[in-house]
Amino acid sequence: MAKPRDPAKTAPRTGPRHVAIIMDGNGRWAQKRGRPRLFGHHAGARRVREIVSSCPDFGVKYLTIFAFSTENWKRTQTEVAGLMSLFRRYIMKEMQEFVKENVRVRFIGDRPRLDAKLRGLMDEAEAMTEGCTGTNLTIALNYGGRDEVTRATQRLARDVAEGRLRPEDVDEETLPRYLDTYVLPDPDLVIRTSGEARISNFLLWQSAYAEYEFIDTLWPDFTAKIFGELLSGYGARDRRFGAVSA
């Protein structure tokens, strides 16, 4: 049986290598200005660009952002359609920039429910940036942690049923290979903006040992400067992974 991965051996000693962000507060940001919620989402999309560009300066090699959850379909049809159109336009507009900035783009989440045009653009973006070796940007689109574990378990069960995997060989190393994030390291730091202290079904398995930062700033106000300040706070922490300090 493979030995469980020891997070204390793989985690960085200084700043976080992998930061995951729950970008919350776009709606309230727009409301405060008397504008429709989509206005806030557009402002939020502009912040994504700024934060992605700042990653090399801060030594963040992996950035994972929660753009649309499996629960977000419950929003009004206008908001859902507006967000889908924003994602399509965002991918079309930003891809050349990402290639120029050496950003490798990946998507996680359940794709079949997304429309064919968007799925095509997602495939294209992944293919176009495949050779990029700078920041690894992962966009969670129609993503839910429980949904991801459920889909992973279905694939794992199929491998067992078809004789490719023995039940006794399933351990903490095996299961993550079936997750959408199988090529990514676990996040070291998870940030949520807008004052809500919830994880909302984001990276449930992967964040077992992550640090969390819940900050009041609404996502469209989240600047690279604020990002840098949060990251420097992280360096001062003592991550023990269940052990005691040396």
Taking the C-alpha atoms of residue 246 and residue 239, their distance in angstroms, rounded to an integer, is 11
**DSSP string for 15-48:** S-SEEEEE---HHHHHHHTT--HHHHHHHHHHHH
Catalytic site includes residue 201: no
Q: Return the H-helix or E-strand segment holding 93.
A: helix 77-100
Comparing CB distances to ligand FPP, the nearer of 43 and 152 is: 43
Answer yes or no whether residue 219 interacts with ligand FPP by CB under 6 A: yes
Taking the C-alpha atoms of residue 67 and residue 233, their distance in angstroms, rounded to an integer, is 25
Pick one of 18, 38, 44, 55: the residue that binds ligand FPP (CB under 6 A): 44
Q: And the tokens for 150?
A: 């459920």
The mark string for 73-102 relative to ligand FPP (x by CB under 6 A, - otherwise) is -------------xx--x------------
Catalytic site includes residue 136: no
Could you tell me the smallest distance in angstroms from the CB atom of residue 129 to ligand FPP? 14
Pick one of 19, 21, 45, 63: the residue that binds ligand FPP (CB under 6 A): 45
Taking the C-alpha atoms of residue 205 and residue 184, their distance in angstroms, rounded to an integer, is 13
Taking the C-alpha atoms of residue 27 and residue 206, their distance in angstroms, rounded to an integer, is 28
Pick one of 19, 20, 23, 184: the residue that binds ligand FPP (CB under 6 A): 23
The mark string for 124-163 relative to ligand FPP (x by CB under 6 A, - otherwise) is ---------------x------------------------
* Residue 42: closest CA among 89, 86, 101: 86
Stretch that binds ligand FPP, among 38-46, 110-118, 153-161, 205-213 (CB under 6 A): 38-46
Q: And the tokens for 242?
A: 């269940």
Give 226's DSSP letter.
H
Residues 56-75 that bind ligand FPP (CB under 6 A): 65, 67, 72
Q: And the tokens for 186?
A: 């676990």
Catalytic sites, residue numbers: 24, 72
Q: State the residues that interact with ligand FPP by CB under 6 A.
A: 23-28, 37, 41, 44-45, 48, 65, 67, 72, 86-87, 90, 139, 194, 219
